[in-house]
Amino acid sequence: MQKTMDAVVVDPPSKVDSTMIWLHGLGADGHDFEGIVPQFALPPNHGIRFIFPHAPIQAVTVNGGMKMRAWYDIRQVDLTQQVDWQGIEQSVALLDELVSQQVSAGIATQHIMIAGFSQGGVIALHAGLQRPEPLAGIIALSTYFPERSKTRYQQPESCPIFMAHGLMDPICPYKSAKVALSHLQGQGFSPSWHAYPMQHQVCLEEIEALSKFIQQRLVSNQQ
């Protein structure tokens, strides 16, 4: 395991041939999902590099202005109101730079997958769908998708998208995720949808489904 100032990087036991970039939620950091890698039960010779970036530290309005790691500010409890588009754009740019670094290291975008939980899922969707080069896939967990009329989606409609949400999520309401699903379907995408009896979290059944999604697109295609 390699640690840098901006991210936790978990390299595979074999030569790197693909990359997963995974963004944490509000108030967490890159270590939050670091422990999920062994739970995917990947083949011992897999070549997936996992990158868990740390969000910048900034004041968050709904938390009384307290400073914490956040991909953008949240100004109201209703996540669709007063959206911090400037903050979202800045984090999308940070994620784009990470993807470009992996491309420069020899990993084609078709072998790069972007994932995010909660706030991280918003950035994963916006950054991934605006990239013109085909990605291996996008994972959006326990999240929502604020819409913006000027946003231009350039990702091919065939891009595999995995979306999952808790039926009892008190932080990001289930209905918000369903609105996001409908929006993406209306744009021509066909997300794989998963709902679980949980709150704002991940569960074992979800991890098992994620493992299949990841292995089909980052392991099977490399064999």
- Note the pLDDT tens digit of each residue in 195-215: 999 999 999 999 999 999 999
DSSP 134: P
Task: Tell me, yes or no, whether 38 lies in a domain.
Answer: yes
Burial 45-65 (b: 16+ CB within 10 A, else e): ebbbbbbbbbbeebebeeeee
pLDDT attached to residue 127: 95
Percent of the chain with pLDDT over 90: 87
- Note the pLDDT tens digit of each residue in 112-128: 999 999 999 999 999 99
Task: Tell me, yes or no, whether 213 lies in a domain.
Answer: yes
The position carrying tokens 């709904």 is 62
Tokens coding 119? 């706030």
Task: Tell me, yes or no, whether 120 lies in a domain.
Answer: yes
Instruction: Sort 85 into a burial class: Cβ within 10 Å, 0-12 / 13-18 / 19+.
Output: middle
- Note the pLDDT tens digit of each residue in 60-107: 999 999 999 999 999 988 888 899 999 999 999 999 999 999 999 999
Instruction: Sort 220 into a burial class: Cβ within 10 Å, 0-12 / 13-18 / 19+.
Output: exposed
Q: Containing domain of residue 200, as a range?
A: 2-55+84-222
pLDDT attached to residue 222: 54
pLDDT at residue 53 is higher than 60: yes
Task: Tell me, yes or no, whether 192 lies in a domain.
Answer: yes
Tokens coding 182? 């409908």
Q: What HEC string does 14-69 produce?
A: CCCCEEEEEECCCCCCCCCCHHHCHHHCCCCCCCEEEEEECCCEEEEHHHCCEEEE
Task: Tell me, yes or no, whether 64 lies in a domain.
Answer: no
pTM of the model: 0.94
Task: Tell me, yes or no, whether 62 lies in a domain.
Answer: no
Task: Tell me, yes or no, whether 154 lies in a domain.
Answer: yes
CATH number at residue 199: 3.40.50.1820
Mean pLDDT of the chain: 93
Burial 149-187 (b: 16+ CB within 10 A, else e): eeeebebeeebbbbbbbbeebeebbeebbebbbeebeee
Domain count, the chain: 1
Catalytic residues: 118, 169, 200
Is the separation of the CB atoms in 109 and 16 below 8 Å?
no
pLDDT at residue 151 is higher than 80: no
- Note the pLDDT tens digit of each residue in 169-199: 999 999 999 999 999 999 999 999 999 999 9
Q: Which amino acid is at 28?
A: A
Task: Tell me, yes or no, whether 22 lies in a domain.
Answer: yes
